[in-house]
Amino acid sequence: MSTADILGWIAVVVGTTLGMPQLVRLIRTHRVDGLSLSSWRAILVANIAWAAHGAHLGQLTMVITNTIGLFSTLPILYLLARRFRRNVIVLLLPSLVVASVMIAIDHVLGSAAFGAAAIALATFSNIGQSIQLVRSQHVGGVSPLFVTFAVLNQLIWMTWGLIVHDAGTIMTAAVVAGLSGFNLTWYVLRRLGLRPLFPPAVAPEPDPLSA
């Protein structure tokens, strides 16, 4: 087994468990404070698009990681849809459309173009989460394991991309690792007592999940 294969399977273990701590925290606490709905919609796009990218490259590890990731992403989106009183189908449709566009880019324009699109998607996702971590009155809804694994996952995939010389993976993982690192740092600061910056003027509605 090559080094790339070993790293790929390590990434499978980390990637498939990435969303589970967040899902468990949502189910156990019913708290969504600090979570970004737009970020999880983007994560759904990423799960689908990267699974297809892995199939395009013939990389089973990437396919498995992102396919299994759907088993945590979809329930999280369902719970968030309930929190924000949104229709689940309507909530998911834009993500499915964007994922289809990214798959088309991968097949027509190549890996580098796919990587550029994935960077834009990952930037949007992480900035959405960053805004919530900075502005939310509380961040107790965010799982510490999730924000930690998010950084580790990208570092593993970046190393894997360097080994197999896949430009799309290298570009995306490097950028997302930096953004995820910011989120992890800010989360730790908030938990240590840092107050929110530019908090929303209107308090959020009561959480229907706790009813």
5 with 64: CB under 8 angstroms? Answer: no
Q: Round to whole Å and give the CA distance between 124 and 117.
A: 11
For residue 158, the number of C-alpha atoms closer than 13 Å in the C-beta half-sphere is: 15
Which tens digit of pLDDT belongs to each residue from 98-108?
999 999 999 99
Written in H, E and C, the secondary structure of 29-55 is: HCCCCCCCHHHHHHHHHHHHHHHHHHH
CB contact set of 174 (below 8 Å; sequence gap of 6+): 154, 158
Q: Round to whole Å and give the CA distance between 61 and 6.
A: 10
Q: Round to whole Å and give the CA distance between 65 and 171.
A: 19
Confidence of residue 44 (pLDDT cuts 50, 70, 90): very high
The stretch 2-12 carries a mean pLDDT of 76
Q: Round to whole Å and give the CA distance between 83 and 45.
A: 21
Q: Round to whole Å and give the CA distance between 153 and 196.
A: 27
Q: Does residue 115 carry a pLDDT above 90?
A: no
Residue type, position 30, single letter: H
The pLDDT score that the predictor gives to residue 18 is 77
pTM above 0.75, yes or no: yes
